[in-house]
Structure 1
Amino acid sequence: MPERIQQRRTGGWRKPENTVSVARPSRWGNPFRITPSGLTDFPWQVRSPTVDHLLGLHDTERSAREHVVELFEMHVGPMGSFEYDDETLAKLRHDLGGKNLMCFCPLDQPCHADVLLELANGGTSHAVP
């Protein structure tokens, strides 16, 4: 079963076989970022108390990382952007299906690669608990 690999920049580290990087700036990178202050930064630069509340960003019990993964899932889900239409989903499955996915996120924390692993291997995306 494909798994998530933590990408490293340390000397001597090599990407494992059958592994694809989904970190930014790759085609499959998460467009949602965590700012140095820990707040979610939207690619379209829209922030308001209403948007924050609807997306659960007022919830201090959840990490900024959980929020950006959930935003990514919403982005690729049925209500998501045109980038993940049927043709793009087919491309995602062709490019990433059956492969390990690599990102810089720590393995013990949520990552958008988890959503991509699910989608690439025939599943449907799922929200971060």
Structure 2
Amino acid sequence: MSDNSKVVHCKKKPYDVYIGRPSKWGNPFVVLLDGDRDQVIEKYREWIQTQPQLMDSLHELKGKVLGCWCKPQACHGDILAEMAEGEGHE
């Protein structure tokens, strides 16, 4: 098994940390309401960087399997996995 964080569908594969709504990691931006899938993921990338408590907690996700409803489609979890592996700060 890889040591890198990755995202899986929370009902189809086992996971370590649930990141969908209403978890603290959930994306507050909704597809169609706040933009298309790519737009809400980018909004999440920008938003999470303004949330010091989440940025300081990214270490919790390092090396974990993250569960969300979006996969296999693009997901805010992809951002979380990327940031967790990069120490959280861009």
TM-score using structure 2 length: 0.79
Shift in Å at residue 3 of structure 1? 1.4
Return closer, same or farther for 1:125/1:92 CA change in 2, 3 Å cut-off. Answer: closer
List gaps (5 residues or longer) in structure 2. Answer: none
1:5 is paired with a residue whose SS is strand
- Compare relative contact order (CA 8 Å, sep 6+) and give the higher one, 1 or 2: 2
Q: What's the counterpart of residue 91 of structure 1? A: 57
Q: 1:106 to 1:91 in 2, by over 3 A?
A: closer
Structure 1 consecutive aligned stretches of length 4 or more whose deviation exceeds 4 Å:
123-126
Given the alignment of the two structures, is residue 104 of structure 1 paired with residue 76 of structure 2, yes or no?
Answer: no
Alignment of 1:1-129 (within 5 A): 1-8=4-11, 16=14, 19-34=16-31, 38-40=32-34, 64-77=36-49, 81=50, 83=51, 85=52, 88-93=54-59, 95-107=60-72, 109-122=73-86
Task: Name the SS for the 1:33 alignment partner.
Answer: coil
**Identity across the alignment (%):** 34
- Sort the Cα spacing of 1:2 and 1:33 in 2 relative to 1 into closer, same or farther, 3 A: same
The answer (yes or no) to whether the contact 1:73–1:125 under 8 Å persists in 2 is: no
Structure 1 gap segments, 5+ residues each: 41-56, 58-63
Residues of 2 paired with 1:124 and 1:88: CA distance? 9
Between the aligned partners of 1:71 and 1:97, the Cα distance in structure 2 is: 22
RMSD of the TM alignment (CA)?
2.3
> How many aligned positions are there?
87
Contact kept in structure 1, 2:61 and 2:84, CA below 8 Å = yes
Aligned partners of 2:47, 2:84: CA distance in 1, in Å? 15
Q: Taking structure 1 as the reference length, what is the TM-score of the superposition?
A: 0.58
